Structure 1
């Protein structure tokens, strides 16, 4: 077992020290995989040190505050903070010490770690720590594996681990920029309906047909369009058809009869009537005026 920890330490410390995702560039001072971590002295760093307790119990001092350590605890020593780890029985501890290379990082890339340094929690709530914990365990299992490990997946895992920290230690992780939120069922249904309408614009597109595709009732579909878009299902489809017709009139030489058919109008006469009512000009006149005012100038 100790051999596995030595191998993980050697592999990551030798090969994963400077990594970047294009926005944030990280310099990793050291990785640590320790099967028996006991007490250390009260000290501080100029960089971040994040630790994950795989097994064992103990305590962590962060300035004047003392926190219990147990399996699954993820804790962060921020730059300039006096801290100390104590354990009578010993901890199985994974840790990483790193800092941001500000010269090679964008403002957006630096911001989450600046906020972490300024006001991050010392101990991550168990639920918030879950993602980091999984990545730690995956990194260790790959590093101790007998099979050869490619640098690229290890780099990606290391980046994922580092980027998991700002949200894990955020006082309000659900409010952090970039945090994924679950869409409402209505939003998902609406997006599916809009995609279906876009892909089948030349078809009749009755409400019952689209509702069946989404496995919801026509009444529910009608409510979704009214609540989310402030317009009826029928009005939305007609609007999409007119917008598509405008685009083809402006950018193609398709005959107006073909455009009417491709946009799902039952006849060129009905198309002309709806188009003229919506825009105050017939399709033919719209095409001529747009050609004179726009397309001709682009040539």
Structure 2
């Protein structure tokens, strides 16, 4: 099972995408972990499922809303009996502009929230968000004059609703995780904390979890839908992209410090995932920021 960097076919001049009222399909092959360079909002209309985001596993229920920052590793799993129905909004932060100065308000705050990616909407709040999503879908599919402006305005309204939900103190308690889900969350957090440790192997992780390697491998794949090597490679790829963007370290240093073993393997893996070499990715990204 692979972990993929998903390519979103958006217009470079308007980096936005909407998938409206999508049903999770449990009869398909097991969905895989993926990541992309766009922020993502997922709102669940009905049904159930599980959502893995980075090192956390969340329950998907009616009224749950997820704010997923660009390049976060994530994967959804629909419940077999009651698969979720959700809407997905993808956008790059560049299209979110402050419409006017408004104190310390930041529309992108939900993507920086350190306490988790999910919130719960009340019935009225969900109805309001569903109305906005319906309007978005009309603008997205209708291609009327001013539709892009309308979509940006609606996106701001949706982000405002999510921000206000985040600041409320009467949020409903989230369902308790099962024992196996809590165990897997602990494993994913441990991997995050020790990602660059050269001892990070199946045997090492199994010893930390006090189980045998075969049991660990089987449980990890059943819970996450991918093999441990594929998961580690994706996490290291994301870390390498951060270093390419925000440091002046050499390509060889980044390859070594992120656990790729050799520069040639790093080049091969990076080009396969990102569609370009690490050096070209750094150059293009920095040109876009200048």
Instruction: Specify if TM > 0.5.
Output: no
TM-score (norm: length of structure 1): 0.39
Which structure has more helix as a fraction of its residues?
A: 1
